[in-house]
């Protein structure tokens, strides 16, 4: 029997996430429900929701150390999906081995390049050689058969493969968090405290264009929580801007700001209004 839940006023039967199982995205998706489906890439997660294979999709959008997830931002430009919510997950990296391994047995450490970079000092201080894999979960699966190797991965991945956590919280920086967004084909309901995400491209690269748009928010005391830019892929110096700010798109003040922003932009898209953390 399928399990169901309500999220953002929607009946949810299935959730797509960036896999494989045992990743941080899998952990976040697990907070939302039980009928989880793993996809091999961020584009395939969005496609699964767009074509109705799944009701929700969970993908990372930014990390406090590494910055934005560029492919997620780029896909949002043309996607018809909306952001229904967000989850911020503290990132804890763990050294995972077979149950009979000790630290002196380990020569190689496998993981995703980002995880290895975030644990660089730990690995260097112990003389461990880093080797890349496509994901942290793939690294954990790899060491099941290796006596001289460890993986950097999640507690969930260690549980999935019945492996040993040789050392916990081995990341070089404690303030390591990843923000994940929850996507669906429906626009979110208004809640008590809301955040809205938009993207836009100005008509031309001329002095003061971005300044005037940001002024609409400042003049109305609307707090911006994030501003990001990505190349538009239409030539050097051409960018798409991503803004997060407090409020719902149906708030009168916000509606007025969005109407003014449309007059200054060649592209303006509301990505979603959703509960603010």
Q: Residue 152: which residues within 8 A CB-CB, separation 6 or more?
A: 93, 94, 95, 96, 109, 110, 111, 112, 115, 116, 119, 136, 139, 170
pLDDT digits (tens, 9 = 90+) for 115-135: 999 999 999 999 999 999 988
The verdict on 200 and 261 lying in the same domain is yes
Residue 276 lies in a domain: no
pLDDT at position 3 over 80: no
The verdict on 53 and 180 lying in the same domain is yes
The closest of 134, 125, 71 to 103, measured between CA atoms, is: 125
CB 24 within 8 A of CB 33: no
Domain that holds residue 33: 10-91+176-184
Residue 120 lies in a domain: yes
The C-alpha atoms of residue 83 and residue 185 are separated, in whole angstroms, by 9
Q: What is the pLDDT of residue 6?
A: 53
Q: What is the pLDDT of residue 1?
A: 36
Q: What is the pLDDT of residue 252?
A: 96
The verdict on 138 and 232 lying in the same domain is no
The verdict on 202 and 251 lying in the same domain is yes
pLDDT at position 206 over 80: no
The verdict on 83 and 106 lying in the same domain is no
The verdict on 85 and 101 lying in the same domain is no
Residue 148 lies in a domain: yes
Q: How many CB atoms lie within 10 A of CB 173?
A: 11
**Mean pLDDT over residues 36-53, rounded?**
95
What's the whole-model pTM score? 0.87
Q: What is the pLDDT of residue 179?
A: 96
- Picking from 10-19, 33-42, 216-225, 254-263, which range would have the lowest pLDDT averaged per residue? 10-19
The verdict on 82 and 180 lying in the same domain is yes
Structurally, the chain folds into a number of domains equal to 3
């Amino acid at each position: 029997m399928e399990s169901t839940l309500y999220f953002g006023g929607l009946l949810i039967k299935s959730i797509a996430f960036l896999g494989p199982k045992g990743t941080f995205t899998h952990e976040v998706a697990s907070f939302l429900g039980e009928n989880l489906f793993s996809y091999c890439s961020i584009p395939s997660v969005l496609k699964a929701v767009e074509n109705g294979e799944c009701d929700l999709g969970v993908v990372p959008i930014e990390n406090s150390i590494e910055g934005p997830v560029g492919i997620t931002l780029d896909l949002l430009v043309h996607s018809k999906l909306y952001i229904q919510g967000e989850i911020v997950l503290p990132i804890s990296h763990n050294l995972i081995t077979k149950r009979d391994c000790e630290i002196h047995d380990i020569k190689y450490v496998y993981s995703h390049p980002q995880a290895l970079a975030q644990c660089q000092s730990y690995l260097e201080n112990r003389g461990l050689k880093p080797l890349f894999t496509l994901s942290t979960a793939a690294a954990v699966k790899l060491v099941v058969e290796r006596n001289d190797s460890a993986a950097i991965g999640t507690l969930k991945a260690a549980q999935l493969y019945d492996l040993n956590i040789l050392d916990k919280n081995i990341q070089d920086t404690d303030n390591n968090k990843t923000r994940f967004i929850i996507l669906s084909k429906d626009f979110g309901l208004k809640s008590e405290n809301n955040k809205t995400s938009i993207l836009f491209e100005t008509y031309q690269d001329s002095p003061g264009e971005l300044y005037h748009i940001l002024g609409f928010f400042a003049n109305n005391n609307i707090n911006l929580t994030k501003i990001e830019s990505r190349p538009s892929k239409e030539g050097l110096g051409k960018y798409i801007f991503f803004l997060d700010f407090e409020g719902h798109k149906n708030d009168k003040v916000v509606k007025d700001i969005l109407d003014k922003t449309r007059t200054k932009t060649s592209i303006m898209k509301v990505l979603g209004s959703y509960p603010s953390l």
